[in-house]
Amino acid sequence: LTFPLLSVTLLVSFGSSMLYGYNLAVVNSPAAHIKAFYNATWSQRYGHGLASGPLTLLYVLTVSIFALGGLVGSLLVGVLVERYGRNGTLSRSALLILLAGGFMGFSRELGSPEMVIIGRSITGLHSGRRCRAVQIAPKNLRGFLGLMPSIFICLGVFFAQVLGLPELLGEDRFWPLFLSVVVVPASLQLLLLQCFPESPRYLLIERNNVCKATEALQRFLGTPHVQDVIEEMKEEQRSLSSVEMVSVWQLLQDRTVRWQTLSVVVVNAGMQLSGIDAIWFYTNTIFENAGIPVSQIPYTTVGTGTIEVVAGLIGCFTIEKLGRRPLIIAGFCAMGICSAGITVSLLLQTALPWMCYVSVACVVGIIAGFCMGPAGIPFLMTAELFTQSHRPAAYIVGGSLNWLCNFTVGFIFPFLQMSAGAFCYLVFCGVCLLVALYVYLIIPETKNKTFMEISHIFA
């Protein structure tokens, strides 16, 4: 693994995936302060405060609007990368974050809850346009670099949890600043992107520029001997010379990639319906319902964040040895078992007060299981299961389902929790176990295989 290749992966992950993780968790800690701001603003405008139901609905919209922005961004990313390349797309996305940070940072000064909601939707638009470094990596490093963004997602969540402590930005007066911290990594990414060449695969396949693709590969891989990689790309380019890029509708109708498409649908929808978004969006509420003292909840949350970073590192450094299938199957199984464990612990906590610690352990198990495999492998699989002609449409399908399910969980979970109580986690348990079973029965191992070889395995 060369320094340039590692550097560009870290840069892409730092300014994209880390912000995604940060924005997932940033609304958890200041929830009470944001609700109080909404209530006070409503009272100033209309002479009366909001009832509990409408206030919860407004806050849930603030949380979940992030996913709707992400949905729009995921629909645009293929066109943008094709037109502007990876670097151009990332630069434009960074400018969006600066705009979003301004909206959220000045929302309280201007007495506008709408600015918070707009800012959250723009951060979602940025996250939906995330780019990954998988396609510039040699096949023996695709797994490692494919899971690198998941580590930064975990780091983003962890930083949001740490900054949300009462001693830092967790006080009422700091929550607008807390939401707008996203401008810092976005600004750094915007400045540093100029130091790296464009994606070699984009340069060769999309722009047919062999010279620049060769130069970029030599810089990324740290060796002048890149002819084998260039020939692999040319082979894929030749195979696509008479094939047009398929649309989403054509992808869904194409029988030759039916199982690949279904696999992308299952793993991307399952990743979000596993319950991880409920954990990240509403950690404090979950711990409060589990009986953890309110004063200890922020520190308990930071503890879970530490464990998820460690779990992400374990997954990243073992994926090339263990493969994709063992990690994603074990991850979903662990999440399903721990979801059922939360239900059991909540039902027994009245009779057994120490069950609150079992709930915390199960939450930690869900997060660790997710970060070791399901956090990054679905995105990696979407890239690996298709050739260039089908890959953009597959990204649209997977990304759209990803964000729609993210929005569904973020919007529905508080109401599901109120209506079903402890049994709401059994829904996540069922999803996780079914996805694990599907992967075990259907999806082959893709470690160290070219995109063409993977396509032939399914055929």
The whole-angstrom separation of Cα 151 and Cα 98 is 23
pLDDT band at 134 (very low <50, low <70, confident <90, very high): very low
Average pLDDT rounded to a whole number, residues 193-204 = 71
Structure tokens at 209: 């520029």
* pTM score: 0.78
The whole-angstrom separation of Cα 120 and Cα 99 is 11
Give domain limits for the chain: 1-196, 248-458
Greater model confidence, 192 or 40: 40
pLDDT at 17 over 90: no
pLDDT at 89 over 50: yes
| Ramachandran category for residue 107: left, alpha or beta (phi over 0 → left; psi -120 to 50 → alpha) | alpha
- Specify the pLDDT at position 179: 92
- pLDDT tens across 317-369, in order? 777 677 778 888 998 999 999 999 989 988 888 778 888 888 888 888 888 88
Transcribe 13-58 into DSSP letters: IIIIIHHHHHHHHTTTTTHHHHHHHHHHHHHHHHSS---HHHHHHH
pLDDT at 431 over 90: yes
Determine whether domain 1-196 maps to CATH 1.10.3080.10. Answer: no
Q: Note the CATH number of domain 248-458.
A: 1.20.1250.20
pLDDT band at 133 (very low <50, low <70, confident <90, very high): very low
Give all strands (DSSP E) within 107-148, no chain letters: none
The whole-angstrom separation of Cα 348 and Cα 344 is 6
Of 144, 154, 150, 149, the residue nearest 132 (C-alpha) = 149
Common-topology check for domains 1-196 and 248-458 = yes
- Specify the pLDDT at position 434: 95
Of 144, 132, 101, the residue nearest 13 (C-alpha) = 132
Q: For tokens 């309110």, what's the residue?
A: 294
pLDDT at 97 over 90: no
The whole-angstrom separation of Cα 401 and Cα 327 is 22
- pLDDT tens across 269-281, in order? 998 898 888 888 8
* Mean pLDDT lowest among 242-246, 295-299, 412-416: 242-246
- pLDDT tens across 435-446, in order? 999 999 888 777
Greater model confidence, 227 or 61: 61
- pLDDT tens across 204-240, in order? 776 777 887 787 777 767 778 778 877 777 777 776 6
Alpha helices in 164-209 (DSSP H): 175-180, 183-192, 200-201
The whole-angstrom separation of Cα 40 and Cα 63 is 19
pLDDT at 1 over 70: no
